[in-house]
Amino acid sequence: MKKEYKIDETAACQFKNRAGYCVGTGRMGLALQKEYQEQLKLVQEHIGFKYIRGHGIFSDDMGIYQEYEDENGKIIPEYNFTYLDRVMDSYQEMKIKPFLELGFMPQKMAGGEQTVFYWRGNVTPPKSYKAWTDMVQAVLNHLIERYGRDEAVSWPIEVWNEPNLSIFWKDADMEEYFSLFRHTFRAVKEVDEQFQVGGPSICGVDDVNWLRQFLDYCSRNNLMPDFFTRHHYMWSEPVKEGRYSYGKLRDPQEAMEELKVSRTIIDSFRQYQNLPMYITEFNTSYSPDSPVHDSVQNASYVAWLLSRMGEVCDGYSYWTFGDVFEENGVPFSQFHGGFGLVANGAVPKPSFWVFAFFKNLQGRRVHLSDEAVVVQKEDGSYCGVAWNLSFGKQEPLDIELALPCKPGANFCFLQKLVDEEHGNPVKLWHDMGEPSNPSKEQLALLREGAAPWLLTKRLAEEEGYVTAALHLKQDAVVYFELRETEVCSDRGYHIISLNK
């Protein structure tokens, strides 16, 4: 298949690129692990997300909520910030801010025994909402004291995670969640009105009803959330094979329409019109055991999403940055379908490079299609990302972009390619025999094989345009740049291989 586009600069518009807004993590306690820190460092060096969001700030492994018995036998609450400070200090060092998800319930405070995940996050309401709000306020006051008011209030606050699922909130009790939100919202605003608080952090199960009911509840109770949140996954018909989940990718345009419905519902309430909507989790599959996450197919699908999602929401968070993740337990193998952009051993997956590519797309959008986005930077140079989202069809895609330029101009055309043969460490791992626990030497080779393939070419203006040709195999993703160059060869020097 071949697509040809002649770019019209007069049709340029703002590219609402939110690729660097936020990224997900597993439970917060995992940030105490060395491998977690190494993966986050790699992500920040190449992508540089602004926020990071994860579960379990109040789970028992963080140790925040404690109790003791005084001399009269009365139970007295106290708070331990040792691990909280370690995690927040590490985020500060990585130049990433927490997007604070308040959950799950400390076991000693919980009104029930129901838990979720291998690490047993308690998902029941508190025995006492006063105990809950006292803890929330104590944490926020501590964060203000340690990091400064201006910094702390710049951290968004989301109340709970997916309460519309009974595995995350006992009985998916809507009215109980609304009560939790009301108490929490007011407690946070008592600490400082500048804190930005939102919810309901729902996934795509009965989401239309939940969102409408939540907005109606907030309206009736004079609550003015600062933003609204939901999650978005693109997976259907999953089946299990051994330890792993396989499914079908949904039509991405159909999935995008669901987000537009959420936006329309929010704007149907006059007082909430145009307030931010954040997708605080998104990915293809919603299971941390789906090999699609490790694949170039995932990368091409995510590329399509990143080209569009900023048009319907104010920020989005890929779930997750790394494979240090234990919802279903400790993974058995190097590649195991984990959510992460980075595999264990600090090995970037193909989707990692998609975010790195998109983070570079800063400027005026001069082209958007189902297979490419191109922007023009302030200095007049062009860059873009193209992809061949195949849905299993083994058909290559050729794209020809004619970009306007001044007469006589010369250009360096640079490409960074990820496809089945390049920047695809899972293929190299497969060829190695799929070792569950690679040696140091094997990990070093996987990291080397994870790099995109770099190609360059010199191009020249013809009839007012420079023409860039891209060849993409099945599910390939390519980043490209066109920079004007001055040809200044030294007298008598010739590159031998170019003069055969």
Count, residues in the chain: 500
Residue 248: its pLDDT value, please?
92
Element (H, E) at 95: none
Element (H, E) at 82: helix 82-93
The tokens for 434 are: 């799929």
The tokens for 87 are: 């995690």
Q: Is the pLDDT of residue 307 over 70?
A: yes
> Closest by alpha carbon to 45, among 281, 346, 280, 278?
346
Residues annotated as part of the active site: 162
Residue 346: its pLDDT value, please?
97
Residue 23: its pLDDT value, please?
98
Structure confidence by residue, pLDDT tens digits, 160-170: 999 999 999 99
Check residues 179 and 394 and name the one with the higher pLDDT: 179
β-strand partners of 401? 5, 468
Enumerate residues 6+ apart whose C-beta is below 8 A from 191: 137, 140, 141, 144
- Beta strands 13-14 and 364-368, pairing class: antiparallel
Please give the single-letter amino acid code of residue 280. T
| Fold of the domain spanning 2-11+363-498 | Immunoglobulin-like (2.60.40)
Structure confidence by residue, pLDDT tens digits, 136-153: 999 999 999 999 999 999
Residue entry with tokens 């509840």: 217
Structure confidence by residue, pLDDT tens digits, 175-211: 999 999 999 999 999 999 999 999 999 999 999 999 9
Where along the chain do its domains lie? 2-11+363-498, 16-359
Q: What is the pTM of this model?
A: 0.94
> Cα(481)–Cα(476) distance, rounded to whole angstroms?
17
Q: Pseudo-torsion of CA 140, 145, 147, 153, nearest 10°? A: 40
Check residues 73 and 269 and name the one with the higher pLDDT: 269
Please give the single-letter amino acid code of residue 46. H
> Cα(339)–Cα(348) distance, rounded to whole angstroms?
12
Structure confidence by residue, pLDDT tens digits, 65-114: 999 988 888 889 999 999 999 999 999 999 999 999 999 999 999 999 99
Confidence band for 272, pLDDT divided at 50, 70 and 90: very high
Q: Is the pLDDT of residue 8 over 90?
A: no
Averaged confidence pLDDT in the chain: 95
Query: How far is residue 67 from each of residues 58, 123, 130, 185, 459, measured CA to CA in Å?
Result: 14, 20, 15, 24, 70
Structure confidence by residue, pLDDT tens digits, 289-306: 999 999 999 999 999 999
Residue 500: its pLDDT value, please?
52
Q: Where are the beta strands (DSSP E) in 34-156?
A: 51-53, 65-69, 75-79, 97-98, 100-102, 115-116, 121-122
Indicate if the alpha-carbon torsion angle 128, 130, 133, 137 is positive or negative: negative
> Cα(438)–Cα(442) distance, rounded to whole angstroms?
5
> Cα(27)–Cα(81) distance, rounded to whole angstroms?
16
Structure confidence by residue, pLDDT tens digits, 204-244: 999 999 999 999 999 999 999 999 999 999 998 889 999 99
Structure confidence by residue, pLDDT tens digits, 421-476: 999 999 999 999 999 999 999 999 999 999 999 999 999 989 899 999 999 999 99
Q: Is the pLDDT of residue 396 over 70?
A: yes
Residue 208: its pLDDT value, please?
96
Residue 498: its pLDDT value, please?
66
CATH number at 16-359: 3.20.20.80
Confidence band for 282, pLDDT divided at 50, 70 and 90: very high
Q: For the stretch 164-194, what's the b/e string if a residue is b when 16 or more beta carbons lie within 10 angstroms of its beta carbon? A: bbeebbbebebebbbebbbbbbebbeebeee
Please give the single-letter amino acid code of residue 63. G
> To the nearest whole percent, how much of the chain has pLDDT over 70?
99
Q: Is the pLDDT of residue 499 over 90?
A: no
Residue 57: its pLDDT value, please?
97
